[in-house]
Structure 1
């Protein structure tokens, strides 16, 4: 599919999605969010895609927030609908997706950009990356999950500090507090992301999807994460992959998972 704001490439079952608005520091406008929704839905249902890497065009910015120009003139109801739509169509879609998604963060990840990175399952970041939620400097608060996902990743105290001060942190600090999984050079960013995703794709895909569901359940109001784990654990025993995995272990060979 051809997009106006995205560039996609598929290689060895890894779909790389590049947000391509470099002259706007890859800011998320409505068209970009709509195209991300279409692209991700297609990727999650496409058997040729095992996992996804999301990155930004150029060296300066992953995503430098939402397109603030689109906020002008909104009333409270329209703003709430905008936030709800983004949650449902993109950010929650990524977090709850059945396939692993890595954010390859090159440069600025601010506002909606940091929220996009946090919705991904893993964050590999370049050493020039900068992170922040500056919404309070505009008279706003984060509206795409930032007030919920940041505390989950870095703890309540640090999250409140970052959100209320609106100050940026660098890549090393992001790694120290648990916001980033790995810090690499800009040149290593996509290769390292692909390398890690390749390792994940060598595992049983239905088990990977079950693990994502079980982990997310522990952070979902009204759902018992331990009970979800029990159910997902049991469900794995209905698959052919567990038979292959156990047989391969006992036979001391590398398993060949088929995802069924």
Structure 2
């Protein structure tokens, strides 16, 4: 007997396999019931058909499970993708935040660098204020601190403006603060003149003599000697004044003060 070859649509096989078995069985039994049980080939065909039906049922079940698993896997994939997108969004937000913080830090660093430059410039300027500078006073050159130079010039400005008492105080303070200054001889000279102007003749003589003792070759030395004689004359010390003028002519014969001394001596005879 020829074998049955059965080709069923997938949906038909998935949905109506039990019913198909019954239909086929019912159609075959009336026509050849006796032969079916006697013929081995017919029996094998029926068994084979049933095996195919069972195989189709199992395949249908596996397909259904695969579809369900695929759906579950799809849901898992979608959840994973959603979580990944959330993580990406969070990273973008964090990156933007860090970028903003970085820009702020860059601005702060730039500001600190600017402040550092300003401080460095200020320090350099302040250091230059304390660096000794070369000055020239009464024909002498020497190194002096800027503050020292400023103090001397301020005292001298006071004397030249006629503020003799203030100048006296300023020069006395200068000599106390800068006893070894290159300005010392000049400061003593102007201090003596300020004291002479305020009629403090004895103190003036003291400072003029200190100048001659410390710097006999100073440009102001001849004038200091003449000023001593002037103070002595104010104090009515005529003999002392004469001696001072005579010593001046010996020590500084070519100076302008010597010419004045000669005139004063001629008047005293």
Measured against the shorter chain, the TM-score band is: under 0.3
TM-score, structure 1 length as denominator?
A: 0.23
Relative contact order, CA 8 A, sep 6+: which one is greater? 1
* Structure 1 or 2: more helix by fraction: 2
* Structure 1 or 2: more strand by fraction: 1
Q: Could you say which structure has the larger radius of gyration?
A: 2
TM-score, structure 2 length as denominator?
A: 0.23
